Amino acid sequence: MPSNFKLQSQASSLHSGARKSKKQKHQFVIAARCVKGAHDAPVSFVRVQLLQRRRPPYNYYAMSKITRHEPLLIFFNIVITSCFVSCSSLTDSQTLLTLKQSLSNSTALANWDDRTPPCNENGANWNGVLCHRGKIWGLKLEDMGLQGNIDITILKELREMRTLSLMRNNLEGPMPDLRQLGNGALRSVYLSNNRFSGEIPTDAFDGMTSLRKLLLADNQFNGPIPESLTRLSRLVELRLEGNKFEGQIPDFQQKDLASFNVSNNALFGSIPPALRKLDPSSFSGNRDLCGEPLGSPCNSPTPSPSPSPGPSPESSPTPSPIPLPNHPPNPIPSPSHDPHASSHPPPAPPPGNDSAGSGSSNSTLVLASATTASVVAIAAVVAAIFVIERKRKRERGVSIENPPPLPPPSSNLQKTSGIRESGQCSPSSTEAVVGGKKPEIKLSFVRDDVERFDLHDLLRASAEILGSGCFGSSYKASLSTGAMMVVKRFKQMNNVGREEFQEHMRRLGRLRHPNLLPLVAYYYRKEEKLLVHEFVPKRSLAVNLHGHQALGQPSLDWPSRLKIVKGVAKGLQYLCRELPSLIAPHGHIKSSNVLLNESLEPVLADYGLIPVMNQESAQELMIAYKSPEFLQLGRITKKTDVWSLGVLILEIMTGKFPANFLQQGKKADGDLASWVNSVLANGDNRTEVFDKEMSDERNSEGEMVKLLKIGLACCEEEVEKRLDLKEAVEKIEEVKERDGDEDFYSSYASEADLRSPRGKSDEFTFS
């Protein structure tokens, strides 16, 4: 017989056989019922005993007469108290469901259901819940598209919580009160890349002695950095970059503080001595910070005010991107432009007489006057060069405002019209980058591991036009430091406002994968945007497939094509994992958006742009909107990028450009997939489907056909029949270079193999 029913039986027996007051009878009935209903809930007897010492619910010890049932009375008193304590607090399921109900978009938490508990003995049943031995010790709700003004104080019921991550969502509101969570024992908190705002109270972290990691980057916090952070003795990582914090940096003395970043805020003053050993990028983007490691002394003399026009405060040298003086910028010059034309200005005129002082103070004032005069002279020369260069570019008709169309394709390249954004696009309009206004010209960097430069550096760099299409023009800019960047100009990126655009760019800037083209910086303006990427030395896959003959390049062999397909699949898989809130995380997969480096590793470009593109332009130009589901049902799906991947595989294997992409409303019998299916149906001639320019690959025909069939499975018009991305990547990984080569492994190790079961950061390791 289960113990709870034994207790109930004993309670009933005691109730009927002993002399009791009405109050005692009532207590026994409650005890029996409580025990019967609480068989699945653990009881903390230690806690109950403490409560009983503090305030016993019934004063049996004051009774003048001790009955022979005293032991049972004491036992039921404990059970009753524990039952009331258990019933007075929410269960873990109720706590999390209350949190879910407070969010305006919680579709990613669909399996949070009270029909199953959050944890089991082996792990978690609910998405984002971290469990150990049946108890919740953390929440990892990252990249789930969660929205709303979240109140996480409800989580104080989770006494065992040690880590909380809500990164990369759209949560808003003030800084949550973290001190109430985890019974004061939180070890790590990750709130980066949300919309939290406001000033954080100076004592917000007092008492959180176990906190080791705190990430609040890329929100909208303002005010001073809380002093209570300096009192967290175990702190090892603090990320506050990308906010609006003001004032001086507090004096952090933690010896184990290994990761610290306050870049891109509004901080000023001297950097505390204990932080001067850190990398300068940890402090960049704060106009008025000084001292080591920035290399800008804090005691430099400041020139006295002058009525003469001079550079604005924003043009003074800082570690952050430097805005230009407020006049129209020079177009990105052509390769014929001398990049050093403005690098040697004439010497400054001698300073005039100064009556502001005499003696030793005169030297400082004379130096200040000379510096001011020199800067004015340099600004005048630069302005003159801008005017001259603009005139020269207008005469030649080559500029960023009016880029020339690509030369007409030769007969050998006639089938490669799709290498441009669209064969039907006209050249870009003559609308100026700055529209004749005087905006603040400032690049916003999204990476800390690149050397800083400003738009002025790009404008005077030696440049080469890479292409011009419906989205805009691309330029390769060779900076004076030797670095090469690609600047792409977009005029259809007005789907969201400034803050949403900046947030999305920061999200793209955090992506790190060998098969993605890294975003380095961007320039925001309402009318149009500039995106700055690292330059990839080789040409696009489209040129290597369809234009290599005209360029005198060899064709791609089968191992190279397989390597490219595997790399593209891995890059796409990473995008889907890191950007789960996007229906089509890439949205524009095509051969001209696959770049190849020196070792023919593929690099995906133009990814993640659907949220910021004008929807009309996106539906007209982007590959995702050429998919069968959009043409038939007017919507894209999570498998739309898989369809684009399938078409790309067919293009790589057949060498035929899928020209139907350029036509809305194409018929199924006119596409590349239908042609491949028809050829494969005839088993005798199936080799005719492959690109004839691939070298003799007779020993690989079986594997090549296998990859073709994977491409066709990705191109299924019915979404339900189409492979999902995980299946597609797994099947692509199984393809080998040679038939029957069971021991061959591609140079691409699968990401699953590279990740060990404990390959997570230590903040998600229970100890």
| Neighbouring-strand partners of residue 119 | 124
Whole-angstrom distance, CA of residue 500 vs CA of residue 573: 25
Query: Phi and psi at residue 677, in whole multiples of 5°?
Result: -60, -45
pLDDT in tens, 729-749: 999 999 988 765 443 333 333
* 388: confidence class by pLDDT, cuts 50, 70, 90: very low
Supply φ then ψ for residue 688, to 5 degrees.
Answer: -65, -15
Q: If residue 12 lies in a helix (H) or strand (E), which one and from where to where?
A: helix 3-17
Q: Taking 90 as the threshold, does the pLDDT of residue 552 lie above it?
A: no
Name the least confident of 75-79, 288-292, 676-680, 689-693: 75-79
Could you tell me the end-to-end alpha-carbon distance of the chain, in angstroms, rounded to an integer?
38
CA 550 to chain centre: 39
- Which residue segments constitute the domains of the chain, with CATH numbers given? 3-88 (no CATH), 92-290 (3.80.10.10), 542-753 (1.10.510.10)
- Collect all residues with Cβ–Cβ distance below 8 Å to 397 and sequence separation of at least 6: 404
Q: What percent of the chain has pLDDT over 90?
A: 26
Digit-coded pLDDT (tens) for 221-244:
999 999 999 999 999 999 999 899
Backbone angles phi, psi at 683, to 5 degrees: -60, -30
Q: How confident is the model at residue 299 (pLDDT cuts 50, 70, 90)?
A: low
* 762: phi then psi, degrees, rounded to nearest 5: -65, -15
Angle between helices 725-734 and 640-654 (to 10 degrees): 30
Higher pLDDT, 569 or 665: 569
Q: What angle in degrees, to the nearest 10, is found between the helix axes of 22-37 and 70-88?
A: 60
Q: Are 76 and 11 in contact (CB under 8 A)?
A: yes
Higher pLDDT, 384 or 238: 238
Residue 525, helix vs strand vs coil: coil
Q: Rounded mean pLDDT of 533-546?
A: 86
Residue 458's φ and ψ, nearest 5 degrees, are -70, -40
User: Largest alpha-carbon pair distance within the chain?
Assistant: 114
* pLDDT value of residue 521: 92
With a cut of 50, say whether residue 176 has pLDDT above it: yes
- CB neighbours (10 Å) of residue 744? 10
Q: Select from 518, 514, 540 the least CA-distant residue to 596.
A: 540
Among 49-63, 275-289, 454-468, 573-587, the range of highest mean pLDDT? 573-587
pLDDT of residue 197: 93
Least-confidence region, from 151-160, 336-345, 555-564, 623-632: 336-345
Confidence of residue 70 (pLDDT cuts 50, 70, 90): low
In this model, does residue 143 exceed pLDDT 80? yes
Position 413 pLDDT exceeds 50: no
Distances from the Cα of 556 to the Cαs of 52, 72, 543, 698, 713, in angstroms? 80, 86, 11, 16, 24
**673 vs 708: CA distance, rounded Å:** 10
Q: Which of 704, 415, 679 is nearest to 557 (CA)?
A: 704
Q: What is the pLDDT of residue 256?
A: 87
Is 70 exceeded by the pLDDT of residue 488? Answer: yes
The per-residue pLDDT for 391 is: 44
Q: For residue 619, what pLDDT band results from cuts at 50, 70 and 90? A: confident
In the structure encoding, which two tokens stand for residue 119, read together? 């944890």
Query: Which band of pLDDT confidence, cut at 50, 70 and 90, is reported for residue 651?
Result: very high
Token pair recorded at residue 206: 């007092």
Give the separation between CA 612 and CA 666, rounded to whole angstroms: 27
Q: Is the pLDDT of residue 259 over 60?
A: yes
User: What pLDDT does residue 695 have?
Assistant: 66
CB 244 within 8 A of CB 265: yes
* pLDDT in the model for residue 50: 38
CA distance 114 to 743: 48
* For the ranges 136-145, 565-574, 749-758, the one whose mean pLDDT is highest: 565-574
Q: Give the pLDDT score at 14.
A: 42
Angle, in degrees to the nearest 10, between helices 701-714 and 558-578: 30
Q: How far is CA 252 from the centre of its chain?
A: 28
Query: pTM score, two decimals?
Result: 0.45
At 446-457, the pLDDT tens digits run 887 777 887 777
CA–CA separation, 578 vs 585, rounded Å?
A: 9
Highest mean pLDDT among 405-414, 436-445, 584-593: 584-593
Q: What is the mean pLDDT of the chain?
A: 70
Q: Quote the CA–CA distance of 640 and 630 in Å, as a whole number.
A: 9
Question: Other CB atoms closer than 10 Å to residue 590's CB: what's the count?
Answer: 24
Highest-pLDDT range among 41-45, 403-407, 413-417, 608-612: 608-612
What percentage of the chain carries pLDDT values higher than 70? Answer: 62
Sign of the Cα torsion 586, 589, 595, 600 reads positive
Backbone angles phi, psi at 621, to 5 degrees: -115, -30
Report DSSP state, residue 712: H
| Range with lowest mean pLDDT among 74-78, 303-307, 522-526 | 303-307
Q: Give me the pLDDT at residue 734, please.
A: 92
Q: Please state, in angstroms and rounded to a whole number, the distance separating the CA atoms of residues 245 and 224.
A: 6
- To 10 degrees, what angle do helices 70-88 and 45-54 make? 100
Q: Residue 467: pLDDT above 80?
A: no
| pLDDT value for 676 | 84
Query: Residue 343: what pLDDT?
Result: 32
At residue 571, the pLDDT reads: 95
Residue 78 has φ and ψ, to the nearest 5°, of -65, -45
Pick the closest to residue 458 from 472, 443, 471 (CA basis). Answer: 443
Helix segments in 332-412, DSSP class H: 360-396
pLDDT at position 660: 54
Say which residues have a Cβ less than 8 Å from residue 60's Cβ, sequence separation at least 6: 70, 73, 74, 77
What pLDDT is attached to residue 305? 38
Distance separating alpha carbons of residues 652 and 375, to the nearest angstrom: 56
Between 400 and 735, the higher pLDDT residue: 735
pLDDT of residue 560: 92
Question: Which of 179-183, 422-426, 525-529 is most confident?
Answer: 525-529
Q: Which of 267-271, 438-442, 721-725 has the lowest mean pLDDT?
A: 438-442
